[in-house]
Amino acid sequence: MAGPDPNEELVVVFESANPVALDIAKSVLEDAEIQFVVPDEGRIGFGVTPIINPVYRIEVLQSYAAEARGLMKDLAGKGDSEPAE
């Protein structure tokens, strides 16, 4: 069985300033067995301003982007946003 293409790009499929929404989005992707990364996740929880706590993003491999965005649609409108394609 072939693994993911190491040259495949990561794309943003979810953005939110809400850490609770981020946890929900991560859970949805985990349930769907879609691998993802959260850039700068180690900084979550520090500070209270947008400069220190930027919008949280979830990235997936480009080949899983459409499926992941579909799963994220239910979270849109709850303080979250879907990035432009």
Q: Measured between alpha carbons, how far is 14 from 76 in angstroms, rounded to an integer?
A: 9
**DSSP one-letter code for 15:** E
At 63, the pLDDT band (50, 70, 90 cuts) reads very high
- What percent of the residues of the chain are helix, what percent strand, and what percent coil, each to the nearest 5? 35, 20, 45
At 66, the pLDDT band (50, 70, 90 cuts) reads very high
The backbone torsions φ and ψ at residue 29, rounded to the nearest 5 degrees and listed phi first, read -70, -40
Domain boundaries, the chain: 10-78
10-78: CATH number? 3.30.70.790
**DSSP one-letter code for 61:** E
pLDDT (tens digit per residue) in 20-36: 889 999 999 999 999 99
79: pLDDT strictly greater than 70 = no
